[in-house]
Amino acid sequence: MTTTAGTGALRIVEDLAEARATVLRRAPLGEPVLPEAVQQSIDELWGEPTTPADHVRKILAAVEAEGDAAVTRFTQQFDGSSYKAVEVTGDEIADAFSQITQAQHDAIAFAVQRVRRYHETQMQHAPTSFTERGTGMLVRPIERAGIYMTGNEAALPSSVIHTAVPAVVAGVHEVYGVTAARPDGTINPLKLVAARMSGIQRIFRASGAQAVGALAFGTETIPRVDKIFGPGGIFVTIAKQQLFGRVGIDSIYGPTETLVLADDTAAPDLAAADLLAQAEHDVLATPVLITTSRAFAEAVAAEVDAQLPTLEREAIARAAVERGGAVVAGNIEEAVALANEFAPEHLCLLVEDPEAVLPLVRCAGGVFLGESSPEVLGDYTAGPSHVMPTGGSARFASPLSVLDFLKVMSVVALSAEDLGRLGPYAAELARAEGLTAHARSIERRLEGR
């Protein structure tokens, strides 16, 4: 049976089959449906009905053919900005430091320090080069990384920090950033300060699919990179999908999601606050509560209704809350099993003994234990990168880390004795596969000994 607490925003579901079909169901990825005004502008741009995928495909083709001219044309048109220089100058970056408050500067510096310290520790546990018995591997950082600095007027300096710092710690030689410009051509100073303090060496005015294309192909001004990192809007996501294989892609990121797993010892107001913190990001965000107590679910629903009107982004948060919901499970084991099934980006354990529940967790981007470890702290100053797998990809993917900026090369350094021992078996397999030249490459060596 399914019941909902009053007429509130947060629906409560007790039947698990219905929960899987509603609260815990994700729509399959497909061709996105754009707002009517956006779709109309795309059709007018190309002079014919154009799908989002074709729109991105045409932008990428133009960037590959025209370079800076196409990047600037599309970026200025879509952002409503005006500027002459694609690259942000050192003077502009220096001026940015004078445009923010001391408190903002200190907060950025603190976040950079925390994120760097965590990833330096992570680096100590990363794979290392070795050679044993004639074989091994070399671990090297990629040469060039491109960071998509998401956001425009709504600057997100935290995303810049959480994407760029792991690259620098991993030892990437060249780290470049691309970002949208404001109408007057300037860049939000918070983003510039975060970029410089995080270690981004050069910054370019470019946004959307055209920025991703510029990083993938290279232009007269923007260098071609080996791998592109960072979340973005729908057109950035489509561009990353279309360029996968031609350039390295970190991941495909969807709307944010948080699953709060709570028992009746948790504080309903804090559980509601955690749900709303993610809900205010985007109308497509998914806040979910799984609890072992119907009474607790109702208390959280009441708190959500009480806290929503206090938010500046109430309409956005309300729409997201209505997408999510609360599920009442029979016990903690069942609740964790549902959470693993959903594989959320963020999993918050507001239970009496979170350390005892942690061993049961199998699938989540990040796990936040107890009331003193809210997910919002992870967004800013906890340490691990807040760039995490979404859409259920936590079943097979991991948060952004130093590992994403490293690559492994296999090494084979065998002796003549090793050749004599391994060679006959290799030659036999080669002939079995009908690859005579392969076999002869080994046999000639063995015959010449």
pLDDT of residue 35: 87
% of the chain at pLDDT higher than 90 = 93
Q: Which pLDDT does position 32 carry in this prediction?
A: 81
Query: Are the C-beta atoms of residues 132 and 411 closer than 8 Å to each other?
Result: no
pLDDT band at 156 (very low <50, low <70, confident <90, very high): very high
| CATH architecture of structural domain 12-28+254-396 | 3-Layer(aba) Sandwich (3.40)
pLDDT score recorded for residue 155: 84
pLDDT average, residue stretch 64-92 = 96
- Per-residue pLDDT of 165-174, as tens digits, reads 999 999 999 9
Mean of the pLDDT values across residues 341-365?
97
What stretch(es) of the chain map to CATH 3.40.50.1980?
Answer: 12-28+254-396, 90-249
**355: exposed, middle or buried (C-beta count within 10 Å: 0-12, 13-18, 19+)?**
exposed
Asked whether the predicted pLDDT for residue 30 surpasses 80, the reply is: no
Structural contact between residues 399 and 411, judged by C-beta atoms closer than 8 angstroms: no
Checking if the pLDDT of 6 tops 60, the result is no
* pLDDT above 70: percentage of residues in the chain: 97
Share the mean pLDDT of the chain: 95
Given the residues 346, 355, 433, 447, the one annotated as active site:
346
414-447 CATH pick, 3.40.50.1100, 3.40.50.2300, 1.20.5.1300, 3.55.10.10: 1.20.5.1300
Looking at 3.40.50.1980, 2.50.20.10, 3.40.350.10, 3.40.50.300, the CATH number of the domain 90-249 comes to 3.40.50.1980
- Look at residue 251 and tell me whether its pLDDT is greater than 90: yes
Given a contact cutoff of 8 angstroms between Cβ atoms, the answer to whether 339 and 361 are in contact is yes
pLDDT given for residue 153 in this prediction = 60
Q: Is 153 a catalytic residue?
A: no
Cα separation of 206 and 178, whole Å? 5
Mean pLDDT computed over 146-151:
94
Report how far residue 369's alpha carbon sits from residue 395's, in angstroms, rounded to the nearest whole number: 20
Nearest to 222 by CA among 342, 85, 123, 95: 85
329 pLDDT higher than 60: yes
On the question of pLDDT at 28 being above 80, the answer is no
Do the Cβ atoms of 328 and 297 come closer than 8 Å? yes
Q: 36: which 2 tokens?
A: 């009517």
Q: Is 346 a known active-site residue? A: yes
From-to residues of CATH 1.20.5.1300 in the chain? 414-447
Sign of dihedral through CA atoms 323, 13, 308, 230? negative
Of 16-30, 297-311, 415-429, the range with the lowest mean pLDDT is 16-30
Per-residue model confidence (pLDDT) at position 31:
73
User: Is the pLDDT confidence value at 1 over 50?
Assistant: no
pLDDT at 448 > cutoff 80: no
Query: Above 70 in pLDDT, residue 152?
Result: no
For range 362-384, the mean pLDDT: 97
Region 181-203 average pLDDT: 97
Give the C-alpha separation, 354 to 202, whole Å.
Answer: 43
- Say if residue 388's pLDDT is above 80: yes
Catalytic residue among 280, 298, 345, 375: 345
SS3 290: strand
Q: Where does residue 269 rank: exposed (0-12), middle (13-18), buried (19+ CB within 10 A)?
A: middle
